[in-house]
Amino acid sequence: MSARDTILREIGLTPIWLARSQPPQLIEIESAELQAREAANIAQHAAELRDSGESRESREAREARIANLPWSQIDADIAECQACQLCKTRTLTVPGVGVAAPEWMVIGEAPGENEDKQGEPFVGRAGKLLDQMLDAVGKSRTRNVFIANVVKCRPPGNRDPLPEEIDACAPYLARQISLAQPKLLLAVGKFAGQQLLNTDATVGAMRAKPGRRDNIPVVVTYHPSYLLRSPLEKAKAWEDLNLARSLAAQSA
């Protein structure tokens, strides 16, 4: 057992973090029909965008409007958003959850099936693990954290978000960060890290080199879904959380 494992065990993290005998993850298999429907949606949305011409809010006007939204209007604005094709297949939008003036802001990738039904980020198995990770460093969505995703609507079948979907949602994420003004941004997974740090680096490379976004320290760690599949990596995530804690203390 490594020294790190011993420490984790002594502080009581092991029983929380280690996977018990868990059922194999359900793998969603997209049917050909679902894929065809999505392709049709994308094509139709693109055609609508082309046809609607001047009546549609310009990209610049939309960005400027979102950049000035108060906290009280962001969720409603996102609920009306039709800037990308995900609006056609979502059940609920998932703007974010937590306190308005958080110590930490956690950024994930995109809502999954449970989040799409409940309108709240990280409510499934990965969310439970995320809550445990945060709890281990004294953080929680009910007390001192705000949690948001790069993309606010569920990509069908939990596929990766497309670049145009990430772009369309970027003004909302930027506005949430500027309103929240957290001491620390914790990016969980590749998409969040890449979006916050404006890079195409791997999670491994981003973990090794914390950056800044709007002068706020950014720590990148593994996505909780990945940690559920690869529990041995939880020790590295624990290192990242401790780094986050010390960077947040310095930026206080």
- DSSP class of residue 136 equals T
Tell me the C-alpha distance between 88 and 230, whole Å: 33
> Could you tell me if 125 and 113 are in contact, meaning their C-beta atoms sit under 8 angstroms apart?
no
Three-class SS state of 48: helix
Q: Give the nearer residue to ligand URA in terms of CB position, either 45 or 141.
A: 141
> Could you tell me if 213 and 237 are in contact, meaning their C-beta atoms sit under 8 angstroms apart?
no
- DSSP class of residue 25 equals P
Q: Which residues bind ligand URA (CB under 6 A)?
A: 108-112, 115, 121-122, 126, 149
Q: Give the nearer residue to ligand URA in terms of CB position, either 85 or 149.
A: 149
**Whose CB is nearest to ligand URA?**
108
CB of 165 to ligand URA, least distance (A): 13
CB of 19 to ligand URA, least distance (A): 17
Main-chain dihedrals φ then ψ at residue 106, nearest 5 degrees: -105, 130
CB of 72 to ligand URA, least distance (A): 22
CB of 189 to ligand URA, least distance (A): 6
Q: Give the nearer residue to ligand URA in terms of CB position, either 8 or 195.
A: 195
| CA dihedral (46, 50, 51, 53) positive or negative | positive
